[in-house]
Homo-oligomer: A and B are copies of this chain.
Amino acid sequence: MNDLAIGLDSANGGHLYEQIYDYMKREIRKGKLLCGERLPSTRSLAEYLQVSRSTVDLAYGQLLSEGYIEARPCRGYYVCRIDDLFAMKELPEQTVMSQAEEEEVFPYDFSPHSVELGSFPFGTWKKITKNTLIDDRKEMFALGHPQGDPELRNTISRYLHASRGVNCTPEQIIIGAGNDYLLMLLEKILGKKYTAAVENPTYKRAYRILQSFSYDVKTIGMDLSGMRVDELECSGAELAYVMPSHQFPTGIVMPIGRRLELLRWAAEKEERYLIEDDYDSEFRYRGKPIPSLQASDTAGKVIYIGTFSKAIAPAIRISYMVLPERLLAEYRKHCTFFSSTVSRIDQSVLNEFIRDGAFERHLNKMRKIYKNRHDCLVTACRNMLHHVKISGENAGLHLLLHYQGERSEQELIRLAAQRGVKIYGMSDAYIGNLPESRKPTLILGYAGLSEERIEEGIRRLSDCI
């Protein structure tokens, strides 16, 4: 017992029992108290240390719980056999987040993925949130339905029908925290390894996600109507990822004929499906919105995916997926144990936001802002740039500049960067080899730039083009 040099310090703030516990644990870890060694009884240790017996009881209890000592009935406490104790690692110093992760900031960044953040309807969102966080609605804090709250799904199904012609019941909708997550869930619902097809060029993120599923991913060429169905047929793919409303990056709107061809292809075999990413579909500046591909699907072949992140704010992680009946049955059979990924508070706020018309008002406001930026960009390009043709305009949040001059895409990007202008080459959207005889093509997004910035950006670009 005299070996137990426990220096108790009743003034040091820690409980006495913790000091005893800490000391003994340390001694065991250091091998000073050996396996099988009998510890003093609680009574004798309490007397020795001049503390109450319950204090020693607490310390021994903790050591017991963590498996350092064991109690042998009628015999007392013994140090456990612990084969080789690893030393506890010390906490590494708090490292500051690496700033290198951040990219260089350009004053004139024509990123096609930017959006206008200043127009987020703070006031409305705040008011709805306040009304949502009310004490007597405590059911809202329980885990919700795995597909998302029925009220929000009901609202979304009506919104999708009215705005996109999507035909679905609320039961077919799954709400999830972003398109990436919904695709991961879809992988589980489909439940087998697919050969999948993407348009080429395409939205690289979607390509990478499909690849991460260890799917065999084929790239399919496009003509002016979009994905070529003859190539798709030959590819062996059974799942095709398409963006019919406004393809990224080409801006192609898939005509009804090609849509029906795709639907016919899908209807030929039971396991074939089309994933429709209805990307940017809220924004169309001429004419009525183009209906979704899902609207023309009578055979239950289209998996429709859309998001509120683009139209409201990227930080709001709420997307939706509409499953055809057959996949809904698969989901119900195999996947309902995956919990919903969206906070019910957020679901409730979004539901109110759509129902009381605030979403419609916000969309109208954003359409106007984006249309002005779009028109400003088109005019600036027409007036200031030579040797270029514009395509993919009138919808979405970016357009294409087809360059007819002598410089390469990389050269143009480099020259623009020297003037503080960031532009994006379409080459980056291609998978594999670039088509031969491709002319340099630039992707210009305008959603994140004011009209002044757009004009000045194009002015600077005109120096190098």
A94 lies within 8 A of chain B by Cβ: yes
Q: Is the contact region of chain A dominated by helix, strand, or loop, or is it mixed? A: loop
- A237 CB → nearest B CB, Å: 20
The answer on a CB contact under 8 Å between A287 and B188 is: no
Instruction: Determine how many copies of this chain the complex contains.
Output: 2
Q: Does A178 contact B (CB under 8 A)?
A: yes
Instruction: Determine the chain B residues whose CB is within 8 A of the CB of A253 once the complex forms.
Output: 65-67
A260-B83 contact in complex given A65-B253, A92-B167, A343-B315, C-beta closer than 8 Å:
yes
Q: List the one stretch of A42-50, A330-338, A400-408 in contact with chain B.
A: A330-338
Q: Is the CB of A117 within 8 A of B88?
A: no
Chain A positions 57 through 83: 1 when the CB is less than 8 Å from some CB of chain B, otherwise 0: 010011001111000000000001111
A16 contacts B by Cβ under 8 Å: no
How many Å from the CB of A303 to the closest CB on chain B? 16
- CB of A180 closer than 8 Å to a CB of B: yes
Instruction: Given A80-B257, A82-B260, A85-B260, answer yes or no on A95-B170 (Cβ-Cβ < 8 Å).
Output: yes
A91 engages B337 (CB within 8 Å) = no
Query: How many whole Å from A89's CB to the nearest CB in chain B?
Result: 5
Contact of A133 among B88, B126, B204, B261 (CB under 8 A): B126
A259 within 8 A of B: yes
A238 beta carbon closer than 8 Å to chain B: no
**Complex Cα gap A61–B87 (Å):** 74
Q: How far is the CB of A310 from chain B (nearest CB, A)?
A: 10
Cβ of A375 under 8 Å from chain B? no
A223 within 8 A of B: no
Complex partner residue of A341 from B80, B144, B178, CB under 8 angstroms: B178
Flag if A133 contacts B141 (CB, 8 Å). no
Interface residues contributed by chain A, number (CB under 8 Å): 111
Q: Determine if A288 and B18 form an interchain contact, defined as CB atoms under 8 angstroms apart.
A: yes
Let me know if A356 is at the binding interface, CB within 8 A: no
Q: Do the beta carbons of B287 and A62 come within 8 Å of each other?
A: yes
Decide yes or no whether A105 CB sits under 8 A from chain B.
Answer: no
Q: Write out, one digit per residue, whether chain A residues 258-298 have a CB within 8 A of any chain B CB (1) or not (0).
A: 11110110000000000000000000001110110001111
Known contacts A88-B165, A288-B62, A339-B180; A81 and B313 CB within 8 A of each other: no
Give the nearest-CB partner of A141 in chain B: B313
| Contact status A257-B288, CB under 8 Å | no
Q: Is A205 an interface residue (CB 8 A)?
A: yes
Asked if A209 CB lies within 8 Å of chain B CBs, one says yes
- Bound-state Cα–Cα, A178 to B157, Å: 25
Verify B126–A130 contact, CB threshold 8 A. Answer: yes
Are A169's CB and B61's CB within 8 A?
A: no
Tell me, in angstroms, the Cα distance from A142 to B58 when the chains sit together.
50
Q: How far is the CB of A168 from chain B (nearest CB, A)?
A: 8
Whether the Cβ atoms of A120 and B141 lie closer than 8 Å is yes
**A84 cross-chain contacts in B, Cβ below 8 A:** 260, 264
A256 within 8 A of B: yes
**B86 & A263 in contact (Cβ 8 Å cutoff):** yes
Q: Does A425 contact B (CB under 8 A)?
A: no
Q: Evaluate whether A315 and B177 lie within 8 angstroms (CB atoms) in the complex, with A167-B91, A260-B86 already known.
A: no
A225 interface contact, C-beta 8 A: yes
Among A143, A286, A296: residue with most chain B CB under 10 A: A143
Q: Hey, which chain B residues are within 8 Å of A167, CB to CB? A: 88-92
Query: Taking the nearest CB of chain B, how far is it from the CB of A282, in angstroms?
Result: 16
A191-211 CB mask vs B (1 if < 8 Å, else 0) is 000000000000011001100
The 23 sampled A-B contact pairs (Cβ below 8 Å) are A61-B287, A65-B394, A66-B255, A81-B257, A82-B256, A84-B260, A86-B263, A88-B296, A97-B154, A117-B139, A120-B138, A122-B135, A126-B130, A126-B133, A141-B315, A177-B177, A180-B339, A180-B341, A181-B341, A204-B337, A209-B337, A209-B338, A316-B343
Minimum-distance CB pairs A-B, first 7 = A67-B255, A177-B341, A143-B314, A315-B344, A141-B313, A62-B287, A97-B150
